[in-house]
Structure 1
Amino acid sequence: MARNIGSRYTATQILGRGSAGTVWLGEGPEGPVAVKLLRDDLAADQELVGRFVQERTALLGLDHPHVVAVRDLVVDGNDLALVMRLVRGTDLRTRLDRERRLAPEAAVAIVADVAEGLAAAHAKGVVHRDVKPENILLDMEGPAGPGGAHPALITDFGVAKLIDTPSRTKSTRIIGTPDYLAPEIVEGLPPRAAVDIYALATVLYELLAGFTPFGGGHPGAVLRRHVTETVVPLPGIPEELWQLLVQCLAKAPASRLRASELAARLHEVLPLLAGIPPLDVDEPGAEHAEEPAGHAAAPGAVPAGEEEGRRRSGAVPLVQGSAPDSNRDTHTSMRVPAPDELAGGARGTARVPRAPGAPRPGSAKSHKAAAVRKRRITLGVGAGVLVVALGVGGWFATSGDDAPQDTKQSSRPAP
């Protein structure tokens, strides 16, 4: 059913729903637009509306090919809406749900586009604060680039800041999506441009691997990993690309590249990726979904047992007792973990990629394999001593010019 948005726009069809509101297909004086109608409770907060209106100039000034431009801001009665450019395509989450992972060339091309959009925003002092696949749109009407990737645009600037205002949250709360939160956010520091770089590097890792580097299980465990874990290497990508990922996932914000630098470096790496197929690594299993002992639950969190089988187990419902949103929008509110909750072993809850068919670390199959290897090593040492003894005797029985030859080579590469 159509509805009027202010005096200039008409919303005709729902395109999607998220944690901040509903996106409609709309018509305006200049043709089709996308209208993000924000939640009623946001529109009813007059202080919040005033702050958002103050941001209007910055939002309207973000005009870049890889940013979904805000055309207008409508404040009319109970309606608070962002009128945006209409992008005919899909979001990156939908593509990931369909393909699980992308070829490195396509993944890097998409992330390079987003980095260029973020660079334009950061130059104007605007930090996105919620970079994730749901907020990256693919323009299917645009020309296909490297790896067949269509142009990518970052959307929803200002929405995270809109929700996270002093009147709505406390200093002990975190607003964001657990899988993509930079360590400094988890530790309660104010968000700067570097948080967008960390989140975008997380997105790139996810496009390559099919899962995020620190996600899985209870949101509290995810937050802890961001602070304490070291990212695990992905096999099959050039070293230059891996070093970029490591630098942009650095715990210290100052160690990360700026958005413009990241975009330039990604374009330099692109020629090395032509023809490389999607990576063949398995996603870490459900054993990582367990909540660490003594960790407090986040509001609306799903019990660890219910997380099993979800490809992105970081997804949590936005309302207590409800199922996660169908569009996997995981923007949620959590408390800042205490220092003792963030302390612990650097590898305690790591999600380690593994080759297909290999046992998961810590599993019963893994322990059994280790026991078998131990028995083989013991037997192998004994057999080795016998072979050496026989070899020495044989060497004395032959001419001194002939050296003993190995007759069996290991099929495993040297470590």
Structure 2
Amino acid sequence: MARKIGSRYTANQILGRGSAGTVWLGEGPDGPVAIKLLREDLASDQELVGRFVQERTALLGLEHPHIVTVRDLVVDGNDLALVMDLVRGTDLRTRLERERRLAPEAAVAIVADIADALAAAHAAGVVHRDVKPENVLLDMRGPLGPGGSHPALLTDFGVAKLIDSPKRTRATKIIGTPDYLAPEIVEGLPPRAAVDIYALATVLYELLAGFTPFGGGHPGAVLRRHVTETVVPLPGIPEELWQLLVQCLAKAPASRLRASELADRLREQLPLLAGMPPLDVDEPGLAEDETEEPAPAAEPGDEPVRRRGAVSLVPGARPDSNRDTHTSMRVPGPDELAGGAHGTARAPRPAGAARPGSARHRAAVRRRRVTLGVAGVVVAAVVGVGAWWVSADGDDRPAPADHRTSAP
């Protein structure tokens, strides 16, 4: 059912729903537009409306071939809406879900486009704060680029900042999607341009590998990994490209490249990547011999297995149709970031070892349990044959140690 948005726009059809609002296919004075209508509770927040008006000039001034242009910001009664260019295509998350991972040439070309977009935004003093595949749109009507990639455009500028008002997210809260949050945000520092570089490098890793470098499991565990763990290498890509990823995933913001530098360095890699097939790497949460098998059944008390993609900040929440995940979450305390509820530092995990609590670790524990159980039965049978006259009560299977750890 069509509805008027302000005096100039009409919203005709819902394209998707997210936690921040609803995206409509609309019509304006100059033709079709996309209208992001924020939730009514957000529109009724006078502080947020004031911030919305303050951001108007900055958002309307962002014009770049790889940025989805914001044409207008509408404040009308209970309606609070961003009117944007309509991109005929799909988002990067949808392509990832369909293809699992991209060929390196296409992945790097897409990320270079978004780096160009961020360079323009940062030059204008705007930090996106929520770079992720859901906010990258692929223009299916644009010319094909390296690796057959469609032109990529970054959208949703300003939405995270608008929602991140002091009233809604006190100093003890953070906003964003856990898989893509830079360590300094997790530690409660103000977001600068470097947080977008970290998030974009995480997106590139995900495009190449099919999973994010620190994702999976409880959101608190994901946030802790951003601060404490190093990224696992991706075999099969040029060393120069890997070093770019490592630099942009550095814990220290000052160590990361600027957006314009990243775009240039990525495009230098394109000739080396021509014709290279998608990487063949194991997904996290699987044992080496279970790569193509279903995940093992969960035991009582085990957390659900999450193999790839962003995790929800709200336990048990179903994904939105457009996977918009602007949500606030408590900042972990120093003891939690150190690796445990009691503030004990966690020893570095040996290369190739499974992360405690992961599906891969649980599978290994279960195999050990089965082995111990079988061994116990065999021993009991031998003893029974050799000394049938001895009877004893008790369990003939050794009790396995529980190696699972719970995230704070």
Same fold (TM over 0.5): yes
Aligned to 1:278: 278
| Paired letter, 2:86 | L
Q: Distance in 2 between matches of 1:192 and 1:126?
A: 9
Aligned to 2:190: 190
CA contact (8 A) 1:181 1:199 kept: yes
CA contact (8 A) 1:182 1:199 kept: yes
The answer to whether structure 1 residue 334 and structure 2 residue 329 are counterparts is yes
Structure-2 change in CA distance of 1:347 and 1:16 (3 Å)? farther
Aligned to 1:113: 113
| Paired letter, 1:332 | T
Q: Distance in 2 between matches of 1:310 and 1:236?
A: 21
Aligned to 2:133: 133
Q: Distance in 2 between matches of 1:119 and 1:168?
A: 29
Indicate the SS of the match to 2:26: strand
1:159-170 → structure 2 map (5 Å cutoff): 159-170=159-170
| Paired letter, 1:255 | S
Structure-2 change in CA distance of 1:231 and 1:147 (3 Å)? same
Q: Deviations over 1:245-269 (max 9, x none)?
A: 0000000000000000000000101
Q: Distance in 1 between matches of 2:262 and 2:6?
A: 40
Q: Comparing 119-128 with 276-285, which one deviates more in the overlay?
A: 276-285
**Offset, 1:329:** 3.3
1:2-401 → structure 2 map (5 Å cutoff): 2-285=2-285, 305=302, 307-308=304-305, 311-312=308-309, 314-317=311-314, 322-343=317-338, 344-345=345-346, 347=348, 360=360, 363-364=363-364
Which structure 1 residue ranges, 5 or more long, are not aligned? 288-302, 372-415
**Offset, 1:177:** 0.3
Q: Distance in 2 between matches of 1:215 and 1:92?
A: 18
**Offset, 1:97:** 0.5
| Paired letter, 2:10 | T
| Paired letter, 1:210 | G
| Paired letter, 2:305 | E
| Paired letter, 2:175 | I
Structure-2 change in CA distance of 1:116 and 1:346 (3 Å)? farther
Q: Distance in 2 between matches of 1:47 and 1:87?
A: 31
CA contact (8 A) 2:212 2:310 kept: no
Indicate the SS of the match to 2:127: coil
**Offset, 1:314:** 1.7
**Offset, 1:167:** 1.6
Indicate the SS of the match to 2:263: helix
Indicate the SS of the match to 2:97: helix
**Offset, 1:168:** 1.3
| Paired letter, 1:253 | P
CA contact (8 A) 1:284 1:352 kept: no
Q: Distance in 1 between matches of 2:202 and 2:69?
A: 24
Percent identical among aligned pairs is 82
CA contact (8 A) 2:286 2:360 kept: no
Q: Distance in 2 between matches of 1:136 and 1:352?
A: 33
Indicate the SS of the match to 1:50: helix
| Paired letter, 2:332 | P
**Offset, 1:78:** 0.2
CA contact (8 A) 1:234 1:353 kept: no
Aligned to 1:389: none
Structure-2 change in CA distance of 1:361 and 1:307 (3 Å)? closer
**Offset, 1:307:** 2.7
Indicate the SS of the match to 2:207: helix
Aligned to 1:376: none
Indicate the SS of the match to 1:95: helix
Indicate the SS of the match to 1:307: coil
Aligned to 2:374: none
Q: Distance in 1 between matches of 2:193 and 2:139?
A: 25
**Offset, 1:366:** 10
Structure-2 change in CA distance of 1:276 and 1:361 (3 Å)? farther
Q: Distance in 2 between matches of 1:314 and 1:349?
A: 25
Q: Distance in 2 between matches of 1:366 and 1:268?
A: 46
Indicate the SS of the match to 2:242: helix
Q: Distance in 2 between matches of 1:124 and 1:258?
A: 14
Q: Comparing 15-24 with 143-152, which one deviates more in the overlay?
A: 15-24
Indicate the SS of the match to 2:10: strand
Q: Distance in 1 between matches of 2:53 and 2:331?
A: 29
Divergent runs of 4+, >6 A: 349-354, 365-368
Q: Distance in 2 between matches of 1:351 and 1:179?
A: 21
Q: Distance in 1 between matches of 2:58 and 2:125?
A: 8
Q: Distance in 2 between matches of 1:351 and 1:166?
A: 42
**Offset, 1:52:** 1.2
**Offset, 1:327:** 3.7
**Offset, 1:335:** 0.6
Q: Distance in 1 between matches of 2:205 and 2:302?
A: 26
Rg: which structure is higher?
1
